[in-house]
Amino acid sequence: MIYKHSILRTKLIYSPEEKCLKQYIKPMPDEFLTSNHDDYYSFQISMANNEQGFDQIMIGEINKHYFNLDTGIVFRCNVVKMNHDRLDDHDTLIRDDVIVLNLHHSAFDGRSVEPFIKQLELAYKSPESMADQSDKSLRYIDYTINELRMLQDDSPDSEMNIAREFWKTIFNGYDINKPNKVLPYDYHETVEIVGRSGFGGTLCSSIEDEELVCSMLTLVREHNVSMFQLFLTCYHLFIYKLTDDNDVLIDGITANRYRPEIEYAIGMFLSFFPYRLAIDPNMSFIDLLSKVHGNCVNILQHSKLPLPEILNIQYSGNPRMDRTSSTVFFFETDTYKIDEVLLEDAVCKFLPAANRPAHISKFDLLFSVKHDVSDTGQTQRFFLLWNYSTDLFTEKTISKMDKQFRHLLNILFSKSSTFDINQQPLYELSLFSC
């Protein structure tokens, strides 16, 4: 796998002269990699006697520094033996043992899972296929080289310069001192502190009401918008109602795989884009949805500008500004399902997300929506996931926010609601009657 996919042996080294990160692909040794090649990947066999022990191992996988970008170690495997009497029996895995594959985010994103698993199955079944370099599909470094060439084009009408001008208009007049002051924090004294402890909590709920889900799907079709845009509109409206601030900035996580050649490539294509929306309280929800749709289309057209450049524009080149938004939004469509990994006679099942520890938070508040579709397509539902920093919020506050957001969806889309999303102004809508 490491030989076949050069992104799994790519070094990232900062160049003081050029003031940027430079990528280097490490050459492979002549022999097959073994566990002795610890300068290529990290490998470990662990022992867990119970679920608590396994949780501690998983927390360690997140918190400990197993990767080294300077040497190109971005891939790690931890084989966890559950309730074994002998740790020295390295060659045998039995039922309930766990294989933890840990990859650095510089080399991997969520959309990389499917191609990675397919390649892993192929490597296990036919190791010699990994030595075949006749595959001329686009590599991640090809993508980054192309991006660099675009950045170096300094002509006024270049794609990157046009994108820079677009993002300048997006942030024109925005108060850069505001983002960390708008949410209903429980611990206000820690809001201005740069850097968080990293500890977090997670709260999950679901929308399974068939009538409500059907109403949302119908609205998306009738107005020719995506479900991502519908939920982003709802979340903008929710933050506006929650904070009484009509100039709302939300960082959105997007796949950023804008070319067919990179749709199923392994690499870190995922990116953040700031979605700024000025909300007029007199407009209707449908007008707001149309405005968000237009914003998303424009942002997509100028999405090739790297995030650091967008942030420099957003913060006017001020390096001391805390460059994280108060809240981040992520929408995931369950377009593929990988229930198992076939390693010859062995069948490995994916560990359910509910069994993974969620004591970590990389953002102040990450709101994720997962659109889940059954295998037959007959049943659809939405999972709402709130991942929050415990430096800032209590579970009680997040639980209240979840209840208010679901109440908002009922007001907007339930057939029993008296609120007219086509005609009524937004100022007539309230979150606080739930």
> For the chain, what are the domain ranges?
6-108, 165-428
Orientation of helix 307-314 relative to helix 159-171, angle to 10°: 40
Distances (CA, A) of 394 to 386, 388, 432: 12, 9, 19
Question: pLDDT value at position 354?
Answer: 44
pLDDT band at 270 (very low <50, low <70, confident <90, very high): confident
CATH architecture of the domain 6-108 equals: 2-Layer Sandwich (3.30)
Between the ranges 34-48, 101-115, 311-325, 390-404, where is the mean pLDDT highest? 390-404
As beta bridge partners, residue 248 has 277
pLDDT band at 261 (very low <50, low <70, confident <90, very high): confident
Structure token pair of residue 130: 């990994």
If one compares 350 and 284, the residue with the highest pLDDT of the two is 284
> Where is 118: in which H helix or E strand?
helix 113-125
**Residue 171 CB partners (closer than 8 Å, separation 6+):** 274, 276, 313, 314
* Residue 358 DSSP class: -
pTM of the predicted model over 0.85: no
State the amino acid at position 51 in one-letter form. Answer: E
CA 304 centroid distance within chain: 17
Selection from 335, 310, 136 nearest residue 227 by Cα: 335
6-108 matches 165-428 in fold? yes
Question: pLDDT value at position 87?
Answer: 57
Is there a contact between 250 and 369 (Cβ–Cβ < 8 Å)? no
Question: pLDDT value at position 286?
Answer: 98
Domain 165-428, CATH homologous superfamily name and number? Nonribosomal peptide synthetase, condensation domain (3.30.559.30)
The percentage of the chain sitting over the pLDDT mark of 70, rounded to a whole number, equals 88
Residue owning tokens 């611990």: 187
Radius of gyration of the chain (CA): 24
Question: pLDDT value at position 133?
Answer: 63
Q: Mean pLDDT over residues 112-131, rounded?
A: 86
**Residue 419 CB partners (closer than 8 Å, separation 6+):** 411, 412, 428, 429
**Residue 231 CB partners (closer than 8 Å, separation 6+):** 329, 331, 369
Is there a contact between 289 and 230 (Cβ–Cβ < 8 Å)? yes
